[in-house]
Amino acid sequence: MIIDWLITPLSYGFMQRGLIASMLVGILCAVVGCYIVLRSMAFLGDALAHGILPGVAVAYLLQINLTLGALAAGVAVALGIAFLSRQGTIKEDTAIGILFAASLSLGVLLISTIRTYAVDLTHILFGNVLGVSPADLWLMGGLVCVVLTTIILLYKEFLVISFDPVHAAALRLPANLLRHLMLVLLALTVVVSLQTVGVGLVAAMLVTPGATAYLLTRRLSEMMILAAALGAFSGIVGLYLSFYFNVASGAAVVLTATALFLLTFLLAPRKGLLWQRRRPHS
Amino acid sequence: MSLPDEPARLELYHVTVAYGGQLALQDVTLQVPHGAQVAVVGPNGAGKSTLFKVLVGLLPVQAGQIFIHGRPLGAHHDCVAYVPQREEVDWRFPVTVADVVMMGRYGRLGWLKRPKAYDRAIVMRSLEQLGIAELADRPIGELSGGQQRRTFLARALAQEPHILLMDEPFTGVDAATQETTMRLLEQLRDKCVTVLLSTHDLNLAATHFEQVILLNKRLIRYGSAEQVLTPETITETFGGQVFWLEIHGGGQRMATASHCCPPEPIDSTKRR
């Protein structure tokens, strides 16, 4: 029975927590990811994910909460990028490249001093959603609320600085402040996602549902809602696949999202490949 | 509308602006009264766009002061609307025409506020005034160039600005959009909106605007069209790029300024 197939995993506490966690991450990454897709910041998302590695390593060495370490490092890297590219003397992607490589190296260097780290390192790189504790879940839930509330409250402002910076200037919006805030929100998102999909796969969760939703919608608000639904769906389906086929959960979630994207890329009305083949001049 | 009696609402004093290491505006002093419609005329690189960008806050002022309604530039958050010559927006961004026009309301709304029915009514009215109401739900990227221009004019209208800056609105648009823009200027005149409109079309400036600013990095002359547009001032502004046509009988003069390139050489065999 399909009902049994769906219910069986729920009898395990770790699966319940895992499902909630991957759903939360799916929603959060997808919503924040809409801006990543629209502002061509995919590289930044990936860089921030790797940039939090030294924070995690330091937290591990000091025996404190890994998420807190990641949080500190993520915000530091985000603001560092903003600071270096502030005057326009260094382009933003150059600043990202420098800080990303530096903090990844620092992370690897710190981790190499720890002998018994192999297992935890895999978890950081690829996530360990089934190891989410109730305390982790509360912290994740809190951060998700903070980020999503900020995005909803500043919807107009983020929309106008993303779409038309000239008009944003005419409205006297503090463009730099908003840009830095967006970086910090992205850093928080990456940290929340750490335990579910890991450093290596966060970028995919940020970009893929947003890209899928972009092909199907014509307004930013609709794009965000659809992306959130796709992200949550991928999170849940991926975790079930991981449970039944005994494969890595983070990878299963990402590949589910990718499958949805490819399907949409082929079949989407108006923007899909087949549609454009049929009507080459539209 | 007599100049000295009106309180000046846009004032520039000794404004100097450098752009890319070069002086783009030099010691410009002028006062535009409330509700005036002013053509800003000058050759390419004369600082017309620079002047607008400074007024919007896109470029910093090196020296001098600017006041709007007697308060320093930047004290007002939404009373200056700017329609650039070419919008630097991402045309593939998922926004509809109505979304873009609603952005004109953002300044009035302020932080954390959502658009109300009142704002939506203004958006709809602006779209109707520019004849694009039926395009309201279309993505901005699917529109023609002229329709896109009208969308951004509608946004400027929805902003209900006191000062509207239009950079070359008649360049590179279809006849229908030109006509709509002309009609819009008349409506704005009734509403006492101050308009600064840059153009290199001296005819347009002379026939449709009561006041003209002649600009070439410095302020050459500012005043009524008859006062400003004389052979001497135009030659001073455009340098050698002026051709004079004397029309006999009416004593009218027409000037044509070549604004970009020298005339095509007749002997073009070498290039083939």
DSSP string, B84-147: -SS--S-TTSS-BHHHHHHGGGHHHH-TTPPP-HHHHHHHHHHHHHTT-GGGTTSBGGGS-HHH
Which chain A residues are Cβ-neighbours of B78 within 8 angstroms? 171-172
Decide if A164 and B78 are in contact by the 8 Å CB cutoff.
no
B57/A contact by beta carbon, under 8 A? yes
The pLDDT value given to residue A239:
92
DSSP structure class, residue B263: P
Collapsed DSSP state (helix, strand, coil) of residue B74: coil
Decide if B99 and A219 are in contact by the 8 Å CB cutoff.
yes
Task: Measure CB to CB from residue A214 to each of B74, B94, B112 and give the nearest one.
Answer: B94
B95/A contact by beta carbon, under 8 A? yes
Decide if A170 and B90 are in contact by the 8 Å CB cutoff.
no
The pLDDT value given to residue B93:
92
Which chain A residues are Cβ-neighbours of B57 within 8 angstroms? 169-170, 172
Please state, in angstroms and rounded to a whole number, the distance separating the CA atoms of residues B185 and B193.
Answer: 9
Confidence band, pLDDT 50/70/90 cuts, at residue B135: very high
Task: Measure CB to CB from residue B57 to each of A157, A169, A214 and give the nearest one.
Answer: A169
Residue B263 has pLDDT above 50, yes or no: no
A214/B contact by beta carbon, under 8 A? yes
Radius of gyration (Cα) for chain A, nearest Å? 19
Which chain B residues are Cβ-neighbours of A219 within 8 angstroms? 94-96, 99
- Specify whether the CB–CB gap between B167 and B194 falls below 8 A: no
Which chain B residues are Cβ-neighbours of A165 within 8 angstroms? 88
Confidence band, pLDDT 50/70/90 cuts, at residue B267: very low
Residue B258 has pLDDT above 60, yes or no: no
Decide if A166 and B94 are in contact by the 8 Å CB cutoff.
no
Scanning A248-277 for CB atoms below 8 A from B yields none
Which chain B residues are Cβ-neighbours of A156 within 8 angstroms? 103, 106, 109
Please state, in angstroms and rounded to a whole number, the distance separating the CA atoms of residues A38 and B92.
Answer: 9
CA-based nearest residue to A223, from A162, A143, A182: A162
Decide if B94 and A169 are in contact by the 8 Å CB cutoff.
no
pLDDT tens digits for range B44-54:
888 888 899 89
Kindly state the tokens that stand for B211.
């006041």
CA-based nearest residue to B103, from A173, A233, A130, A230: A173
B225/A contact by beta carbon, under 8 A? no
What is the CA angle A44-A50-A56, rounded to 5? 135
Task: Measure CB to CB from residue B81 to each of A38, A170, A222 and give the nearest one.
Answer: A170
Q: What are the strands of the beta sheet with B163-167, ordered from one edge?
A: B80-83, B163-167, B194-199, B37-41, B211-216, B218-224
- Nearest residue of chain A to residue B165 (CA atoms): A170
CA dihedral of residues B70, B73, B76, B79 (deg, nearest 10): 90
Please state, in angstroms and rounded to a whole number, the distance separating the CA atoms of residues B147 and B140.
Answer: 9
Decide if A220 and B99 are in contact by the 8 Å CB cutoff.
yes
Please state, in angstroms and rounded to a whole number, the distance separating the CA atoms of residues A228 and A32.
Answer: 9
The pLDDT value given to residue A120:
65
C-alpha distances (whole Å) from B207 to each of A145, B225, B229 are 59, 8, 11
Task: Measure CB to CB from residue A170 to each of B57, B87, B94 and give the nearest one.
Answer: B57
pLDDT tens digits for range B52-109:
989 888 888 888 888 888 788 877 766 888 998 888 888 889 999 999 999 999 888 8
Which chain B residues are Cβ-neighbours of A222 within 8 angstroms? 94
CA-based nearest residue to B160, from B80, B260, B70, B58: B80
Residue B113 has pLDDT above 90, yes or no: no
Decide if B94 and A217 are in contact by the 8 Å CB cutoff.
yes
Please state, in angstroms and rounded to a whole number, the distance separating the CA atoms of residues B132 and A174.
Answer: 31
> Alpha-carbon torsion B105, B109, B115, B119, what sign?
negative
* Whether ipTM exceeds 0.90: no
State how beta strands B22-33 and B8-19 pair: antiparallel
B94/A contact by beta carbon, under 8 A? yes
Where does residue A202 fall: left (phi above 0), alpha (psi -120 to 50 degrees), or beta otherwise? Answer: alpha
- Nearest residue of chain A to residue B159 (CA atoms): A171
CA-based nearest residue to A80, from A96, A94, A91: A96
DSSP structure class, residue A282: -
- Nearest residue of chain B to residue A150 (CA atoms): B112
Taken in order of first residue, the domains within chain A and their CATH numbers are 2-278 (1.10.3470.10)
C-alpha distances (whole Å) from A227 to each of A103, A127, A147, B145 are 30, 21, 16, 30
B171/A contact by beta carbon, under 8 A? no
The pLDDT value given to residue A145:
95
Work out the average pLDDT over B31-47: 87
Q: B17: how many CB neighbours lie within 10 A of its CB?
A: 22
| pLDDT beneath 50, residues of chain A | 282
Which run of H or of E encompasses B240?
none
Residue B269 has pLDDT above 50, yes or no: no
Decide if A160 and B103 are in contact by the 8 Å CB cutoff.
yes
Please state, in angstroms and rounded to a whole number, the distance separating the CA atoms of residues A173 and B133.
Answer: 28
